[in-house]
Amino acid sequence: MKKIFLLTFCLLIIPKFAFAYDCGAVGGKRIDSSGFVYFDGQKGKFIKGFEIEDPANKIILIFNFGGWGSKKKDKGFCFQKEEIEGVLGQLSGRKVKGKEIVVWANQELWKAGNTMGITTKCAMKHKYKGKMLGHTPPWYECIWGPPTYLKKVKTSKKDILQIPTYVSNFAYKNRAALNTAIADIFVQKGTPRNQLFISGHSCGAMGSLRMESLYPDVFNSAIALMPNCWDKSEHSQLRKWELDEIRSAKKIDALIFHSETDGEIDYQSDSRYLKWMADIPGAKWIELPNHNSEDGKEIIIDGKQCKIKKRMRGGWKIKHNQDLGHKKKAWTVVNPEEKKEMLKKASGHNIPYKSCFTPYLDDIEKFIESKI
């Protein structure tokens, strides 16, 4: 039992962490459903659901959050200026060629499943050299493969957006059908498909790029913020399979934001290793600043320091002994001093969540205008 508990703990720390806090204490409002977000920099407006006035003249930007999956009880966001919905919400109301941009915050991703809940089962049921280990070839095959363990969630028959058919244990892959269904609903309600854009952060960003790579006719284009969505092993098959899908695209209509100081645990996931995406026809790349404060720990954009409390939790070089799988002793930090210093620095992965990112909203608007 102790072994299974430790296995569960080690594997559950793989995906992106979600941090809960008192939304009201920071002047925000908790929103627990999907809908349109407007924000003027100080206060916001939220319109629940899929209905929007004059849909034919709206340009809808569908935003997907990150992570390897989520539960229904965990859906929602804090609507305030130092969260991504508050930042992107400042796009809503802008006019492009006589049409209004509106941002739709997608809180339906729980319907695609929760891979976080099955990482342990994949290790237990798909042993490596007779042992229950994560980050091994059988484990990766299980995560990426058919939905043998992913429990299908339930929703009301009255729900306009039903649960999609699962294709994988990896919720990341199931999100494609879900986002396609969301796009279809907006088309049915009167918004031309050419006026639908998909966006996301982290795993949501990778999912947006995946949509444009594999299903380019669903949305006009993608806007990807800090894309990465795998694990920290140098042997990561998830990384290979995800990036191979992007590489397979002959064209990808996308605006991609990234940074060398992304700071997530995903192996080789910052812009130094992903900027090749900019060479795919149709892609546009914007490099975000590195740590540029006087002490070299913070990130400043147009004279404004990003209020990032989270510190980097990856980016330093590590070696992985796959024979030891997920175990703590399987990981060796190549340069402990490098890690020590990076742990003191702001996580660039969170730049789009902060109001310092707002100057880049003009770039997003111009990109959308170029595609309409």
How do strand 44-48 and strand 95-96 relate by DSSP bridges? unpaired
- Predicted local distance difference test score (pLDDT) of residue 306: 98
- Predicted local distance difference test score (pLDDT) of residue 9: 41
Measured CA to CA, the distance from residue 321 to residue 130 in angstroms comes to 16
What is the chain's percent helix, strand, coil content, to nearest 5? 35, 20, 45
Nearest to 187 by CA among 218, 148, 155, 151: 218
The type of residue at 360 is: Y
The type of residue at 62 is: I
Q: Which residue has the tokens 């039903």?
A: 162
Measured CA to CA, the distance from residue 272 to residue 268 in angstroms comes to 8
Measured CA to CA, the distance from residue 286 to residue 264 in angstroms comes to 19
Beta-strand ranges (E) seen in the chain are: 29-31, 35-39, 44-48, 58-64, 77-79, 95-96, 99-105, 196-201, 222-225, 254-258, 283-287, 300-301, 304-305, 318-320, 331-333
- pLDDT one digit per residue (tens) for the chain, 372 residues: 445 434 544 554 454 444 456 888 778 899 999 999 999 988 899 999 999 999 999 999 999 999 999 999 999 999 999 999 999 999 999 999 999 999 999 999 999 999 998 999 999 999 999 999 999 999 999 999 999 999 889 999 999 999 999 999 999 999 999 999 999 999 999 999 999 999 999 999 999 999 999 999 999 999 999 999 999 999 999 999 999 999 999 999 999 999 999 999 999 999 999 999 999 999 999 999 999 999 999 999 999 999 999 999 999 999 999 999 999 999 999 999 999 999 999 999 999 999 999 999 999 999 999 999
Whether residue 93 contacts residue 136, with contact meaning beta carbons closer than 8 Å, is answered with no
Count of CB atoms situated within 10 Å of the CB of 133: 24
pTM score, two decimals? 0.94
